[in-house]
Chains A and B, each alone.
Chain A
Amino acid sequence: NAGVTQTPKFRVLKTGQSMTLLCAQDMNHEYMYWYRQDPGMGLRLIHYSVGEGTTAKGEVPDGYNVSRLKKQNFLLGLESAAPSQTSVYFCASSYEGNVLTFGAGSRLTVL
């Protein structure tokens, strides 16, 4: 039982490049979330989804897009990466929108 799997685990981008982070969960959870973690700032919600085909903005959505075409997958896209997007990104999922199960994180560096 894998839980929440994030790929890739590490990525280095140049400013202006694009990329997609993939989150996959095998627990049949309805809710999925993308957070970013920066030193001294805790976790901040980027986007979230309350079900297949739905997405919503969180606290810090600018510069990111998401899609939830399949229930088990939640994709986070950066269309034009900026150094301010250097961070550790965490995906999480939840069955009823309460307890979160987290992935191991994806460390992104934008040069």
Chain B
Amino acid sequence: AQSVTQPDIHITVSEGASLELRCNYSYGATPYLFWYVQSPGQGLQLLLKYFSGDTLVQGIKGFEAEFKRSQSSFNLRKPSVHWSDAAEYFCAVGARDTGNQFYFGTGTSLTVIP
């Protein structure tokens, strides 16, 4: 069965520090992989996606993620965090042969301290 694990429930970083949010997935083939961000009281916004090709993908707001097939991981990174990055981050997996269903992790809440 497909599943997504985000092992960190909550992370606190200082503004300007680097960030890495972890995501591991369970899937039989190469899935579509996504990172979404949710600000308080808002819907989810796509940060970046991986379908195929280059395993390092760039997204909006200076985020990037790397697909590592051997580790079944798709970790999100940002070299220098801004206070406005404080939000909830969700990793998701999906593919056509799952009936176009998408499975989300439980989310990582990011706090940025000045």
Q: A102 at interface (Cβ–Cβ under 8 A)?
A: yes
The answer to whether A42 and B42 have CB atoms under 8 Å apart is no
Chain B 22-45 against A: per-residue CB contact (8 Å), 1 yes, 0 no? 000000000010101000011111
Given contacts A99-B34, A100-B44, A102-B45, contact A45 B102 (CB under 8 A): yes
Q: Are B43 and A58 in contact (CB under 8 A)?
A: no
In the assembly, what is the distance between CA of A27 and CA of B94, in Å?
A: 21
Q: How far is the CB of A17 from chain B (nearest CB, A)?
A: 25
Question: Bound state CA distance, A103 and B41, in angstroms?
Answer: 11
With contacts A48-B100, A90-B44 known, is A41 near B34, CB below 8 A? no
A100 touches B46 (CB 8 A): yes
Give the residues in chain A near B44, CB-CB below 8 Å: 43, 90, 92, 100, 102
Query: For chain A, what secondary structure do more than half of its interface residues adopt (helix, strand, loop), or is it mixed?
Result: strand
A31 at the binding interface (Cβ < 8 Å): yes
Most central of A33, A40, A42, A90 by chain B CB within 10 Å: A42
Cα A31 to Cα B102 with chains together (Å): 12
A27-77 with Cβ < 8 A to chain B: 31, 33, 35, 40-45, 48, 50, 56, 58-59
* Residues of chain A with a CB closer than 8 A to B105's CB: 42
- Hey, which bits of chain A sit against chain B, CB under 8 A? 4, 31, 33, 35, 40-45, 48, 50, 56, 58-59, 90, 92, 94, 97-105
Given contacts A45-B101, A99-B46, 11 further A-B contacts (CB under 8 A): A35-B104, A50-B99, A59-B101, A59-B103, A97-B94, A98-B49, A98-B94, A99-B34, A100-B36, A101-B46, A102-B44
